């Protein structure tokens, strides 16, 4: 089990049971576990939804949609069964928050799922883990089995007649794309992981055609805490219109990388320099990717902003999934751009043309550029490709590839230009193999 980190500025809500053995159900119960869901049963769905609305909790997956509102969109009555779907397909590079929740506090996800089920009138929930988290499945499955054994899941839960809830766990097969909610539903139904046309939205037509609430695992894990502490109290922890706290995974060239729970709106600069202990080995900060690899990069002088959805948007980037990647002066932005785009090229599902072909050409061009076969026009071409992918693709994956690319080109254009002159930023650890002769063969223009 990886080491847990901590810092005095942390406000522990969703992480309060971390490191205390709460994966065991008895320990979890001892730490106020399964109280919130029983409150929910007593108070009824309307109370749950109102509390969630009051909490100002916004989706922790990256889009930041208000959770209470999402739950309220589900129709009260439906011919088809309703479902709760937990998105644990945590695939955004730089993000590792759901991972620690599943590891340390799986019951919080289970309890949160049940609360969401109560709120929308669903009797079944699914916990979907990314394929690469298969080793966490054992922990989650054991937690689910324990909950069944205690009578917390199944028929007449907590001894309440007519209150039923079941949970099924499932892993993906290793595709970033199924982190997108509708692609996740396709995958869960056993089909190719490609997104669906919206509308209809999942709240109306979701999994197996039934109304479905789909939430990120961290969002769901927050629900029990919110019910216990009250919506307003939770909201107050955060900033305006950004309730509560959030897990931030700070990685890269910092002294103390790790997952920290910080209040929404917390300063990015402080997060890097105080919470994570500053830049490693006394080097200079070069850039920060603030919310997972799809967010436009921030330069060293742009980090004086608060970590919430609205402030990050104002800064021209996104809060995203809370994966803060810190890059020091030793990083070549050309190399970093290639790394980033190689990921999206590999993960593009291929459904729509701009993403499928765009990421492929971006990767090909950057590969040649990086190998030393580039020319000045390539920089314009990379920008042209990215600009023409933005907003034109079927799902946000195309944007996720285009946004950071535009960031690299716009903010570090001079470095790309110098790269052509032979100026290299060398890093002792990161090394991308030069491309083969094939790509070079076409580099003659």
Partner 1 sequence: MPDVTLTVDGRKITAPAGTLLIEACKSAGLEIPAFCYYPGLSLQAACRMCVVRIEKVPKLATACTTTVSEGMVVQTETPEIQQARKATLQLLLGNHPLDCPVCDAGGECELQDMTFKYGAADSFYAEPKNHREEQKWSPVVYFDRPRCILCYRCVRMCGEGMDVFALGIQNRGSSSVIAPNVPSQLAGLLNSGEDQAQLDCEQCGMCIDACPVGALTSGTYRYKTRPWEMNHVATVCTHCGDGCKTTLGVRSVTDGSEIMRADNRDKSGMNGDFLCNKGRYAFDFANSTDRLTAPLVRKDGKLTPVSWEEALNFAGKRLRELRDQRGPESIGVIGSNRTTNEENYLLQKFARTAIGTNNIDHHRTADYVGFAAALAGRVDATASQRDVLSAPAILLVGGDPTQQAPLTAWNIRSAVRLNRTRLYVANHQDIKLKRQAKAFAQVAEFGYGAFIDSLAGSEAFATAVRAEEKLVVLIGNELRGADLAKLIAVFPAAKVALLADYANSRGAADMGLLPDALPGYQALGSSAVAAEYDAPAAPGKNLVEMFDAAAAGQLAALYVVGSNPVTRYNVDPATLKATFLIVQDMFLTETAILADVVFPSSNLYEKAGSVTNHYGDLQLVSKAGDRAGVRSDFELIVRLADKFGHDVKQLVPFGKRQAGIRADMGQTRGAQAGEADRHAVWLTANSMEPKLSPFDPFAILDEIQRLVPGYDKLLRLQLLSGNDQHLAPAAGSLVQIANRNDLVLPSNDTLFTSGSLTAYSPMLQDVQRHESREVADRLAAD
List residues near partner 1 by CB under 8 A. Answer: 175, 177, 192, 197, 345-354, 356-361, 364-365, 368, 373, 377, 381, 384-385, 388, 391-394, 438-439, 441-445
Q: Which residue carries 């790269």 as its tokens? A: 419
Query: Which residues sit opposite 57 in a β-bridge?
Result: none
Cβ–Cβ < 8 Å for 400, 368: no
DSSP calls for 145-163: HHHHHTTSSBSSGGG-TT-
Give 284 or 314: the residue with its C-beta nearer to partner 1. 314
The CB-of-295 to partner 1 minimum distance in angstroms stands at 19
Cβ nearer to partner 1, comparing 138 with 433: 433
Q: Which is nearer to partner 1, 107 or 196 (CB)?
A: 196
Nearer to partner 1, 259 or 382 (CB): 382
Question: 190 in the Ramachandran plot: left (φ > 0), alpha (ψ -120 to 50) or beta?
Answer: left
Nearer of residues 21 and 391 to partner 1, judged by Cβ: 391
**Least distance to partner 1 from the beta carbon of 419, Å?**
17
* Nearest in space to 264 (alpha carbons), one of 71, 93, 11: 11
CB of 176 to partner 1, least distance (A): 10
Nearer to partner 1, 69 or 353 (CB): 353
Evaluate whether 274 touches 288 at the Cβ level (below 8 Å): no
C-alpha dihedral, 107 to 108 to 109 to 113, nearest 10°: 100
Residue 394 CB, nearest distance to partner 1 (Å)?
A: 6
CA angle 402–408–409, rounded 5-degree value: 85
Neighbours of 437 (CB within 10 A): 6
Nearest distance from C-beta of residue 193 to partner 1, angstroms: 8
Report, in Å, the least distance between residue 197 CB and partner 1.
Answer: 5
How far apart are the C-alpha atoms of 137 and 129, rounded to whole Å?
7
Least gap, CB of 171 to partner 1 (angstroms): 18
Tokens of 410: 């716009």
Cβ atoms of residues 311 and 322 within 8 Å: no
Q: How far is CA 239 from CA 8, 12, 307, 315, in A?
A: 19, 16, 9, 16
Give the 3-state secondary structure of residue 105: coil
* Nearer to partner 1 among residue 103 and residue 355 (C-beta): 355
Which residues are bridge partners to 171 per DSSP?
129
Kindly state the tokens that stand for 161: 């007649």
Rounded to a whole number of angstroms, the minimum distance from the CB of residue 186 to partner 1 is 13
Of 102 and 394, CB closest to partner 1? 394
Cβ closer to partner 1: 174 or 278?
174
Which residue carries 């997952």 as its tokens? 259
Contacts of 44 (CB under 8 A, 6+ apart): none
CB of 431 to partner 1, least distance (A): 22
Does residue 302 contact residue 312 with C-beta atoms inside 8 Å? no
d(CA 148, CA 146): 5
Q: Dihedral sign for Cα 387, 389, 395, 397, please.
A: negative
Backbone φ, ψ for residue 285 (5° rounding):
-75, 135
**Residue nearer to partner 1 on the CB measure, 44 or 436:** 436
Question: To the nearest whole angstrom, how small is the minimum distance from the Cβ of residue 172 to partner 1?
Answer: 13
Residue number, 234 or 351, with CB nearest to partner 1: 351
For residue 158, what are its two tokens? 């907590």
Minimum separation from the CB atom of position 312 to partner 1 (A): 18
Cβ pair 67, 309 in contact under 8 A? no
């Amino acid at each position: 089990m990886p080491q847990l980190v901590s810092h005095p500025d942390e406000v522990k809500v969703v992480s309060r049971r971390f490191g205390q053995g709460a994966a065991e159900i008895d320990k979890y119960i001892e730490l106020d576990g399964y109280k919130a869901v029983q409150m929910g049963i007593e108070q009824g769905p309307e109370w749950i939804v109102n509390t969630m609305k009051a909490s100002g909790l916004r989706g922790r997956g990256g889009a930041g949609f208000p959770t209470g509102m999402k739950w309220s969109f589900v129709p009260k009555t439906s011919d088809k069964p309703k479902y709760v779907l937990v998105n644990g397909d945590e695939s955004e590079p730089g993000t590792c928050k759901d991972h620690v929740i599943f590891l340390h506090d799986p019951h919080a996800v289970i309890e949160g799922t049940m609360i969401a089920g109560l709120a929308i009138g669903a009797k079944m929930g699914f916990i979907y883990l990314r394929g690469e988290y298969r080793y966490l499945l054992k922990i989650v499955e054991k937690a689910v089995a324990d909950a069944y054994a205690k009578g917390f899941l199944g028929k007449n839960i907590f001894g309440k007649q007519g209150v039923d809830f079941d949970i099924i766990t499932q892993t993906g097969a290793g595709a970033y794309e199924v982190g997108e909610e509708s692609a996740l539903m396709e995958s869960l139904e056993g089909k190719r992981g490609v997104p669906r046309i919206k509308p209809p939205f999942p709240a109306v037509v979701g999994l197996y055609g039934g109304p479905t609430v789909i939430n990120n695992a961290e969002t769901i894990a927050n629900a029990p805490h919110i019910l216990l502490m009250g919506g307003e109290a939770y909201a107050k922890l955060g900033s305006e219109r950004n309730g509560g706290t959030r897990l931030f995974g700070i990685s890269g060239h910092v002294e103390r990388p790790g997952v920290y729970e910080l209040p929404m709106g917390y300063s990015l600069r402080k997060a890097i320099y105080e919470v994570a202990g500053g830049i490693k080995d006394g080097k200079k900060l070069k850039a920060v990717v603030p919310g997972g690899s799809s967010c436009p990069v921030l330069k060293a002088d742009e980090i004086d902003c608060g970590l919430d959805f609205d402030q990050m948007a104002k800064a021209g980037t996104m809060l995203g999934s809370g994966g803060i990647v810190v890059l020091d002066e030793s990083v070549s932005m050309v190399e970093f751009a290639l790394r980033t785009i190689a990921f999206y090229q590999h993960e593009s599902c291929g459904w729509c043309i701009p993403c499928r072909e765009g990421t492929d050409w971006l990767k090909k061009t950057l590969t040649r550029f990086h190998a030393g076969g580039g020319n000045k026009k390539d920089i314009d071409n990379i920008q042209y490709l990215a600009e023409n992918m933005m907003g034109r693709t079927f799902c946000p994956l195309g944007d996720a590839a285009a946004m950071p690319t535009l960031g690299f080109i716009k903010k570090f254009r001079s470095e790309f230009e110098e790269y052509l002159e032979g100026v290299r930023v060398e890093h002792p650890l990161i090394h991308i193999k030069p491309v083969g002769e094939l790509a070079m063969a076409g580099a003659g223009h």
